[in-house]
Structure 1
Amino acid sequence: MAGRVRTLSIIDALTEELRGRLFSGELAHDDTLTEAEVARVYEVARPTAKAAIEKLVGEGLLQRSAHKTARVPKLGPDDVRDIYCTRAHLESTALRYLAQRAHVPDSAVTANEAISAMTDNAPLAIVEPDMRFHTSLVEAMGSPRTSRMFGSLVSEVRLCMVQVQGQHLLTTGSIAAEHRQILDAVASGNGELAVSILADHLGRARERLVAAVGGVPGPEAELPEPV
C-alpha cells in the first residue's frame, strides 16, 4: 500500500521553512523577521507571512511584544536551565518506565546508529537524530499527554541543541556513547542507572551552554565525556 503524502497549507509550508532556518543556525539570536521581508522573499501575501511568524512565536522560537518586529530569542542561563531541567523530569520518568519493562525502543537504537555514523565535522547534523533519540524514549511510554508535554518543549530544546552543537560544546562520539549507556541500562532493567547517566548527559550540555550564553556554569560542565 502506498504511503500517505502529507498535505501542507501555504502557512504550514512557510512555517516549516522558517523553522528549518532556525534549526540550521541560519537565523541566530537577535536576528529579526518582518512580515514584509518574509512576504517578499517567499512571494506570499503578508497575512500568510504574519500567520507563519505567529505560529513560531507560539512555539517559543520567535518572540515579540505588541506591534514589535519578531526576533530570534536570546536564551539566557535561566532559560537554558529551565528547559533542560523540565525535559530531564519527563525523560527520567520515561526511562524508569521503560527499564521496568526492559524495553529499548527500536527507534532510539536507529537514531543513535545514525549519530554514531557521523563525524565531528558536521556538528549541526546531529540535532535531528539526537532529538529523535530522546523523543522516542518518551513516546515509547505510550502516554499521549506525556508526549504532548514533551512535544511542547521540543522546539526550544532544538534551539538549545543548535547552540550546543554550533559551538562544538560536545563531541559526536561522546553523545553516541552516552546514549548507548542509557539504552544498556534500560535493557538491563536498571532505571536508576539510566536516570543517573541521563542526568550527566543533560547536565554537561546544560552547564556548558550556560557558560556559552554568559552564565556561571555548574560543576556538571567539567564532567568528563565518555568514549
Structure 2
Amino acid sequence: MATQLMTVSVVQAIADDIRSRILRGEYPSDTSFTETDVAARYEVARPTAKAAIEKLVSESLLERPTNKTAKVMTLGPDDVRDIYLTRARLEKAVLLELAESRTVPPAAVAAQRDLERIDSGSGLDTVDPDMRFHMALVDSIGSPRTSRMYESLVSQVRLCMAQVQGLELVQPERIVREHQHLLDLIEAGDGPAATAFLDEHLSRPRERLVAAVGGVPGPEADLGSSLDAQG
C-alpha cells in the first residue's frame, strides 16, 4: 500500500515563510511586499506571488488598500483593544463549557509546561507557548469554526507583539501562575470565577500593548494580580 504524503502548495509555503518572518519581527510595520519582489525572492511566477500576498491579506497580517502595495498591518490602540476584547468573548464561552465538564485540555497543560521551562531570553520567548495555551483551550471544544475565528485574532496578537519586539509586557512567572490558576478553576468547575479571572489575565497585556503602539493605557496596565494576595 502506497504511503500518503501531505503536500504543501507553493503559495502556502511562501505565505507560511512570510508569515513566520513577520511574526518574528523581521518585517516591521509598513514593510512593503510587491508581487515583483516576492516573485524574485522565491523564484516563482508573479501570479503565485500575488496569491501568497492575497492569502496574508485575508489573514489581516498584510493590508492592501485599493491600487496600493501590500504592507505589514499596522495595529493602533483601538485595534489592540478590539482584538483583545473579541478574543476574551470567545475564550469566556470556552471556559464556561470546559468548567461545566471539568475538562482540562492536555494540550493546554503541555503549553503550560513549556512556559514553565522558560527562564531567560527575549520577551518574545513567551509568545508561542502563551498563544498555544489559549489556542488549546479553544480547540478542545471541537468547533473548527470557533478555532478558525480565534486563530485569526491570535495572528494579530502575535503581530502586535512582534512590532514591540524585546518589550517584556508581562513577566513569564506571572503568566505561568495565572495560566495555572485558570486550569485549576476549570478543574474545580468554577466557570464564573474562570471568566472573571480571564478578564484580569488579558486586561494587563492589552493595556500595555495599547501603550506600546502609542495609545493611552487604561488603569489595568499597572494593576497587580489578585493572586498576589493569596501569597
Q: TM-score, normalised by structure 1?
A: 0.93
- What is aligned with 2:97? 97
1:219 aligned to 2:222?
no
Letter in 1 for 2:24: S
**Retained in 2: the 8 A contact 1:105–1:140?**
yes
1:9 matched to which residue of 2?
A: 9
String of CA shifts for 1:141-188, please: whole Å, max 9, x gaps: 222332232233232122134346632211222111111111111111
CA shift at 1:63, angstroms? 0.3
Preserved CA contact (<8 Å) 2:29 2:163: no
Q: Which runs of 4+ in 1 moved over 6 A?
A: none
Stretch moving more, 50-59 or 144-153: 144-153
Q: Aligned AA for 2:149?
A: M
* Structure 1: runs of 5 or more not aligned: none
Contact 2:57 2:64 in 1 (8 A): yes
TM superposition shift of 1:4 = 6.3
Structure 2 residues without counterparts, runs of 5 or longer: none
Q: 1:99-129 CA deviation, whole Å, 9 max, x = no partner?
A: 1111100000001110110124132232222
Is 2:27 the partner of 1:30?
no
2:179 maps to: 179
- 1:189 corresponds to: 189
- Aligned counterparts, 1:1-227, within 5 A: 5-163=5-163, 166-224=166-224
Q: Give the residue type in structure 1 aligned to 2:143.
A: S
2:100/2:189 contact within 8 Å kept: yes
Residues 76 and 210 in structure 1, CA contact (< 8 A), matched pair in contact too: yes
Counterpart contact for 1:182–1:198, Cα < 8 Å: yes
Q: 1:88: how far off? A: 0.1
Out of 144-153 and 81-90, give the one that drifted further: 144-153
CA deviation digits over 1:50-84, x for unaligned, max 9?
A: 11011000100000112211111211110000000
Aligned-partner SS, 2:142: coil
Aligned partners of 1:120 and 1:172 also within 8 Å: no
Q: Determine what percentage of the aligned residue pairs are the same residue.
A: 53
Q: Cα RMSD between the aligned structures?
A: 1.8
CA–CA distance in 2 between the matches of 1:12 and 1:119?
A: 34
Q: CA deviation at 1:49?
A: 1.1
Deviations 1:23-44, CA, capped at 9 Å, x for gaps: 1011111111111111122211
C-alpha distance in 2 between matches for 1:171 and 1:208? 12
Give the conservation status (yes or no) of the 8 Å contact 1:109–1:133: yes
2:28/2:163 contact within 8 Å kept: no
Give the distance between the partners of 1:23 and 1:151, measured in 2 at CA.
Answer: 14
